[in-house]
Amino acid sequence: MNDLFSRHIADIVPVIVALRRDLHAHPELAFAEHRTGTKVREYLSALPNVKLLPPLLGTDVVAILNPDRPGRCVAIRADMDALPIVEETDPAKVPYRSTVSGVMHACGHDAHTAMLVGTAMVLSRVADQMPGKVKFIFQPGEEDVGGAEGLCAKGAMANPKVDGIFALHAWPNQPVGMVSLRRGPAMAASCSFYITVHGQGSHGAYPQRGVDPILAAAHIVTALQTIVARNVAPIDAAVVTVGALSGGVASNVIPSECQMKGTIRYLRPEVGEHVQRRVREIAEHTAVALGAAAEVRLEAGCPPTINHERMCDLIERTAREVLGADWFLGDEPPSLGVEDFCYYGEHAPAAMFRLGVRPFGQESYPPLHNPRFDFNDEATGRGMQMFCELARRFLAT
Ligand SMILES: [Zn+2]
Ligand SMILES: [Zn+2]
């Protein structure tokens, strides 16, 4: 291929694959990405035409290509954190598996980070042909704690002001190197709920003298599942999951209380409000019906990630023209996973695409957050190519 980037990408991919594997071997949890951030800084500080900015949250890295060039500024974001999971990949196939017990890159953030470093390396070489500025945002804490929200609050999308932002996510159930996209709401909004069921403790042999909070909790768990089945329209998407339930210590004692917590996912705000109201009503009234009392606390999480129409057009056109029409899978269904990329979209047009990792001919691939997930390095060059082309085309229009 005879374009601006291909030769440089081919040159740099082996370095980036090695970096990705190094990051995979040394995963760090949210807001503890010290080694990862330092590595990224090391790579970027060696690049001509790239200026590193002081950290905003501690472990983040924000850098700008062509900081003094007039024109628009496009941003590309990568997340750097790993998950509290014990890795179960085959050491014969993944010799670079996690060296940190109980911490693992099971969401592909090692690859997102490495590919964005690679993109900065390529763009640095052709900086004089980039008609504007490119901001590289390496964010901490995507899993569960909202590093994006913090970075945005500290001005990551300002100075210079970002005019549009892209990101990608590794996508297991999609052929390697293929790009897909969900227009509009692409990833879910979330809300956590915490329920304490108060009963009255008693001897396990004399239940009539107490109020059993475990029985009430069991009824609540079951009744919560009627929300999606009976209160949400079948064509709307929502999830109610109870992820933790605890109460009691002895086999012959009815405890005085019991706790549960869970998550609500949805794509449309109206659906979310309705589900939250029903969670509260069902928990409180079911408990009362059984003589107990439920205390319900709802905690808002991320809003939905909504892909901007114009940015989606650019991703689709770029994938079709640069990778080839066959490499673009079209508009895929939304996911009820949560992505804190949503916060960048509050400051500039934003869109995130999916990059396949499943080898051709293979029917399945370990899902994200699975202890056997590992990014497929064969997708590395295509991820970098998309990032480079999107940046150039965004600035040129
Ligand atoms: Zn994740
Ligand atoms: Zn992720």
Based on the domain organization, do 12 and 156 belong to the same domain?
yes
Closest to 293 measured CA to CA, from 305, 284, 281, 282: 284
d(CA 154, ligand 2 centre) in Å = 22
Judge whether 325 lies within some domain: no
d(CA 186, CA 334): 5
pLDDT bucket at 208, cuts 50 / 70 / 90: very high
For residue 124, the enclosing domain spans: 6-182+332-396
Last residue of a domain, one of 242, 276, 300: 300
Total number of domains in the chain: 2
Write the pLDDT tens digit of every residue in 154-168.
999 999 999 999 999
d(CA 3, ligand 1 centre) in Å = 34
Determine the longest span between alpha carbons in the chain, in angstroms: 82
* Two tokens, residue 200: 């009255």
DSSP codes, 263-294:
EEEESSHHHHHHHHHHHHHHHHHHHHHTT-EE
d(CA 21, ligand 1 centre) in Å = 18
d(CA 222, ligand 2 centre) in Å = 30
Judge whether 251 lies within some domain: yes
* Two tokens, residue 183: 């227009």
Write the pLDDT tens digit of every residue in 85-138.
999 999 999 999 999 999 999 999 999 999 999 999 999 999 999 999 999 999
d(CA 226, ligand 1 centre) in Å = 28
SS3 for 211?
strand
Based on the domain organization, do 168 and 143 belong to the same domain?
yes
* Two tokens, residue 133: 């500025």
Judge whether 289 lies within some domain: yes
pLDDT bucket at 211, cuts 50 / 70 / 90: very high
Handedness of CA 265, 271, 274, 278 (dihedral sign): negative
The strand pair at 202-203 and 253-254 is best described as antiparallel
The pLDDT score that the predictor gives to residue 2 is 52
Judge whether 324 lies within some domain: no
DSSP letter assigned to residue 54: P
Based on the domain organization, do 212 and 280 belong to the same domain?
yes
Based on the domain organization, do 147 and 174 belong to the same domain?
yes
Question: Which pTM value belongs to this model?
Answer: 0.91
| Closest ligand by atom to 169 CA | 2
Query: 10 Å Cβ neighbour count for 47?
Result: 20
Handedness of CA 139, 145, 151, 152 (dihedral sign): positive
d(CA 324, CA 221): 48
Report which residue type is found at 280.
R
d(CA 200, CA 191): 29
